[in-house]
Amino acid sequence: MKKTLLSGLNAFIFDLDGTLIDSMPVWDKVYAAPFIKYDIDMPRDYILTVNHMGLDECVRYTLSNTPLPCGADELKGIWAAASFDEYALNIPLKEGAEELLTSLKERGIKIALATASPYELFVPCLKRLNVYSLFDLFVSTDDVSHGKDDPEIYLEAAKKLGFPPENCAVAEDSHIGIVSAKTAGFFTIGVFDSASEKYAGFVKENSDLFVQSLKEVTALL
């Protein structure tokens, strides 16, 4: 069998937002919604700070670091109302995502999702896009103790898949996620996303492989 850059990998662990689905513009609107409601300026770099966090961590950070006057339940409600329909009805897959997931499945390579999005958002989205059944397991930051600034979520996914980090690839668009996975010993695949273009150079520097499109990963299998 021909050796490739990806030879020896038994599992792929994918981020969702910005990596598999084109959802980051939606989150710009979601995170802005409570600030718009209360006519308060959203802090600079707020979205880039919170978009790797689990829901509860994001709520705590927001209420502690912004002047929003709402409580936790109201904040969650505002976000939920702004995001649910988009995930259930509108957000598309990124170029090459379905082909890559299908190709990995056909090769018997295990596939996990490691996401900061809650189950009530990503499950309907993946089912609508007809890729839900391609995954072997799902891990949300709500299932672990830390956001993606810590590799816990990737290590948990690898553990459940039954492979050590060195036999798993982590695909991420986030500079925070890429660094986390890299420090834990995973093979890192940086995926370009226009919403985080500001950090594309940093992601590339910390990736074992950097791609503009997931089609490039499929070509390397």
pLDDT of residue 47 exceeding 80:
yes
**Structure confidence at residue 187 (pLDDT):** 97
Surface-to-core class of residue 150, CB atoms within 10 Å of its CB (0-12 exposed, 13-18 middle, 19+ buried): middle
Least confident of 109-113, 141-145, 158-162: 141-145
Kindly give, in sequence order, each residue whose CB lies less than 8 Å from that of residue 62, ignoring residues fewer than 6 positions away: 34, 50, 68, 75
What share of the chain has pLDDT > 70, as a percent? Answer: 99
Q: How much is the mean pLDDT over the chain?
A: 93
pLDDT of residue 3 exceeding 70:
no
| Helix/strand/coil for 144 | coil
Confidence of residue 2 (pLDDT cuts 50, 70, 90): low
The tokens describing 24, both together, are 């980051």
Confidence of residue 29 (pLDDT cuts 50, 70, 90): confident
| Helix/strand/coil for 140 | strand
Q: Which residue has the higher pLDDT, 25 or 115?
A: 115
| Helix/strand/coil for 163 | coil
Amino acid at 21: I
